Amino acid sequence: MGIPLHRADPAAVELSHEEILRYSRHLIMPEVGLAGQKKLKAASVLMIGTGGLGSPLGLYLAAAGIGKIGIVDYDVVDRTNLHRQVIHGSSSVGLLKVESARQRMQDINPDIEIVAYNEPFTSENALAIAQEYDVIVDGTDNFPTRYLTNDVCVLLGKPNVYGSIFRFEGQASVFYAKQGPCYRCLFPEPPPPGLVPSCAEGGVLGILPGTIGTIQATETIKLILGIGQPLIGRLLLYDALSMSVEEVKLRKNPKCVVCGPNPSVTTLIDYEQFCGVPGHDHEADSSPTKWDITPKELAARLQQGNHLKIVDVREPHEWEISHIEGAMLIPLGQLAAHMHELDSAEEIVLQCKSGARSMKALELLYTAGFRKLKNLKGGINAWAREVDPRLPIY
């Protein structure tokens, strides 16, 4: 049995001759057929994020004939997106992601309705946006939005098609409180800030979101058609390196604060405060701090002959891509063990790719008693843009 569809009555939906030809390979499958294709046309799906996971989602949901697709994002297309976010192309660099995705999806299927929300998904707008859709698909990569999406789906009684990716590994599930556990049943509390690196910090195999995003699209279509066994109460674990798939059984937590019998979370909360991290996908917070030193300020001080110790806390394979001449490489994970090699009397400038990991390194050194510390704002990529254009940006 499929999920309730609120946008239209499938029995009243008609398919044109052109649509019948377009979806003919669906129509000849008894599991889909004409009635199933009408369900897809009558359905509405909200995609949160048009990045790595949102790319295959958008492409395949549009191609499958989902009648109404909402897309939420507030970022612009960057060249670093293109190795995995295949809904965008080189000609889209600099465009709003929702507009780039909308154009591509509309080109794939001009018969469907696409609604673009060029705004962050927040506690203030989430309920108003999500209530119009039958299925919510989470294509984000930050914990505040994941918890927000979960709570919205529980409060509205909608399925949450979940996916996450990191380096070579991915996860997928369907959190549907009406029939099984929710995301909070599995993860009651978010991890401590800084414990789990983002894709921007740890990287991701470009094809991985294609695999996980396509699984999410599959689960979405199964829910609408009411066929097969959806991933409700099951967490799929995928490892691309070993090409292995494992499954973990999930149970509803009777003490869950949002979907349990006595919930304490009955309205949306401040999820950034709850998780202790920003609810966005950018590599580093752009707001200035007292610890910041800009690339131009650092370059000027070096030119003046100031004695500064530059410590690069990236990994050795990143050092090979680019590095500042004279810098000392100590990967963040090894900093505590090599702290004795640094002189607290020296002024130390910490540096990474974008400024996020080096800020963690600064906090570690400060806790150990170092005080003459600065963080290179924007990292080596900003240095390459503003000071040394000979260096590549990655």
Residues carrying an active site annotation: 199, 352
Residue with tokens 């990529």: 381
List Cα–Cα distances, 163 to 137, 166, 305, 346, in angstroms. 8, 11, 51, 45
Dist. CA 200–CA 314, nearest whole Å: 12
Beta strands in 13-90 (DSSP E): 44-48, 68-73
List Cα–Cα distances, 176 to 133, 156, 157, in angstroms. 14, 11, 8
Contact 55, 209 (CB under 8 A): yes
What are the φ/ψ torsions at residue 107 (nearest 5 degrees)?
-70, -40
Q: Which amino acid is at 205?
A: L
10 Å Cβ neighbour count for 262? Answer: 8
Half-sphere CA count of 61, side-chain side, radius 13 A? 37
Token couple for 299: 């370059």
List Cα–Cα distances, 378 to 251, 291, 390, in angstroms. 43, 12, 17
Residue with tokens 């909200």: 46
Nearest to 15 by CA among 7, 24, 6: 24
10 Å Cβ neighbour count for 235? Answer: 18
Contact 376, 386 (CB under 8 A): no
Token couple for 246: 């494992």
> What is the enclosing helix (H) or strand (E) of 374?
strand 373-376
